[in-house]
Amino acid sequence: MYTEKVMDHFTNPRNVGEIENANGVGEVGNAKCGDIMRIYLDVQDNIIKDVKFKTFGCGAAIATSSMVTELVMGKTLDEALKISNDAVAEALDGLPPAKMHCSNLAADALHEAIKDYISKKGK
């Protein structure tokens, strides 16, 4: 059974879409369940000014993607890197054990987008 927060973020996802000219993009997937998440970042002065996502997956995958965007908006990169898989699930008031892999994808996609931003900035 999904929590009320999971259902809210699934039926009314926040920050859906792409950021044109995003300066950080991260994509992860889980071949076992077929979920694919892509996170787009607009980082200015080390702060996440905008974040959007596109997810192909189950309700929990969409909810965790939506929640991770809310958790990082306005945060510094260091603060965003501290967001863990457990923190995403906790922010949604929990996920069924069989769906915990979905929250892992949301945090992983975020971390990949930050790594992409850092690698582009270093060039």
| Tens of pLDDT, residues 13-39 | 999 999 999 999 999 998 777 889 999
Whole-angstrom distance, CA of residue 1 vs CA of residue 21 = 38
pTM: 0.93
The architecture that CATH gives domain 4-122 is Alpha-Beta Complex (3.90)
Q: Tens digits of per-residue pLDDT, 42-77?
A: 999 999 999 999 999 889 999 999 999 999 999 999
Residues designated as active site: 33, 102
3-state secondary structure at position 113: helix
| Residue 39 phi, psi dihedral angles, 5° rounding | -115, 135
